[in-house]
């Protein structure tokens, strides 16, 4: 279920719903695919660091709409009760407004895989090998209201991280002492320490407030 895993990676990185890589309709209408999506994307009992509830709802609504559209035989195909129940729970609970959500910190999970290794993690069930990730607590509103750029991982850091995950990039870091100045969320420093085999990592930032992110 490579398409489902791709959606999961993008979802936990808080991609805007319009830019998510939605699975093919033939896959979405399968009950096992819907069960996988609920288990890995929306089940609070299995995921301690889910995205904000407003974001969940923004993804669930178009997901269910696509599943509904994909159904060809209502007597054989149906929408998962778990997915529908999650929508109902979110709407009943009352999700925060967009303005309130922007002020809150949110978990963002980045998958740390070079393209050459993605196929290792494309099993059809939950028993596939766990993907290497980094989870950060970020402020998604960037500079607005915080007067600093250090509360969110920037695209430049992600591009550099992608290079470091390649063999040439990995060779630059492995066994070395790393110093990062202006680390912000610390994505690159954590990547070096957790997944790239750095011998020692020292990370600093000029704004004390980012240390609480």
% of the chain surpassing 70 pLDDT = 83
pLDDT of 90 > 80? The answer is yes
Q: What is the pLDDT of residue 127?
A: 47
Q: Between 154 and 206, where is the model more confident?
A: 154
pLDDT above 90 for 159: yes
Residue 150 predicted with pLDDT over 90 = no
pLDDT tier for residue 125 given thresholds of 50, 70 and 90: low
Question: Which pLDDT value is given to residue 211?
Answer: 54
The reported pLDDT for the residue numbered 93 is 79
Q: What is the pLDDT of residues 31-74, one digit of tens each?
A: 999 999 999 999 999 999 999 999 999 999 999 999 999 998 88
For residue 145, pLDDT beyond 70 = no
104-212: which CATH number, 3.40.50.170, 3.40.50.10860, 3.40.50.150, 3.30.450.70? 3.40.50.150
pLDDT digits (tens, 9 = 90+) for 128-141: 558 899 999 988 66
In the predicted structure, residue 101 carries a pLDDT above the cut 80: no
Judged by average pLDDT, the poorest of 71-80, 147-156, 176-185 is 147-156
Per-residue pLDDT at 129 = 58
More confident of the two residues 118 and 87: 87
More confident residue, 120 or 4: 4
HEC sequence for the chain: CHHHHHHHHHHHCCCCHHHCCCCCHHHHCCHHHHHHHHHHHHCCCCCCCCCCHHHHHHHHHHHHHHHHHHCCCCCCCCCCHHHHHHHHHHHHHCCCCHHHHHHCEEEEEEECCCHHHHHHHCCCCCCCCCCCEEEEEEECCCCCCCCCCCCCCCHHHHHHHHHHCCHHHHHHHCCCEEEEECCCCCHHHHHHHHCCCCCEEEEECCCHHHHHC
pLDDT band at 209 (very low <50, low <70, confident <90, very high): low
Of all residues in the chain, the percent with pLDDT exceeding 90 is 65
Mean pLDDT across the chain, nearest whole number?
87
């Amino acid at each position: 279920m490579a398409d489902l895993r791709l959606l999961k990676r993008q979802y936990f990185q808080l991609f805007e719903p319009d830019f998510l890589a939605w699975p093919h309709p033939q896959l979405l209408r399968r009950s096992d695919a819907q069960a996988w999506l609920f288990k890995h994307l929306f089940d609070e009992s299995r995921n301690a660091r889910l995205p904000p509830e407003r974001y969940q709802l923004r993804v669930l609504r178009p997901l269910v709409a696509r599943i509904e559209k994909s159904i060809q035989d209502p007597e054989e195909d149906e929408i998962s009760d778990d997915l529908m129940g999650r929508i109902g729970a979110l709407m009943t609970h009352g999700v925060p407004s967009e303005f309130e959500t922007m002020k809150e910190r949110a978990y963002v999970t980045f998958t740390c895989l070079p393209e050459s290794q993605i196929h290792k993690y494309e099993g059809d069930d939950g028993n596939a090998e766990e993907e290497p990730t980094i989870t950060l607590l970020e402020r998604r509103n960037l500079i607005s209201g915080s007067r600093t750029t250090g509360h969110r991982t920037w695209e430049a850091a992600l591009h550099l991280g992608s290079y470091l995950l390649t063999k040439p990039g990995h060779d630059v870091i492995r066994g070395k002492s790393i110093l990062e100045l202006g680390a912000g969320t610390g994505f690159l420093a954590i990547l070096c320490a957790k997944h790239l085999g750095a011998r020692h990592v020292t990370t600093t930032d000029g704004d004390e407030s980012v240390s609480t992110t």
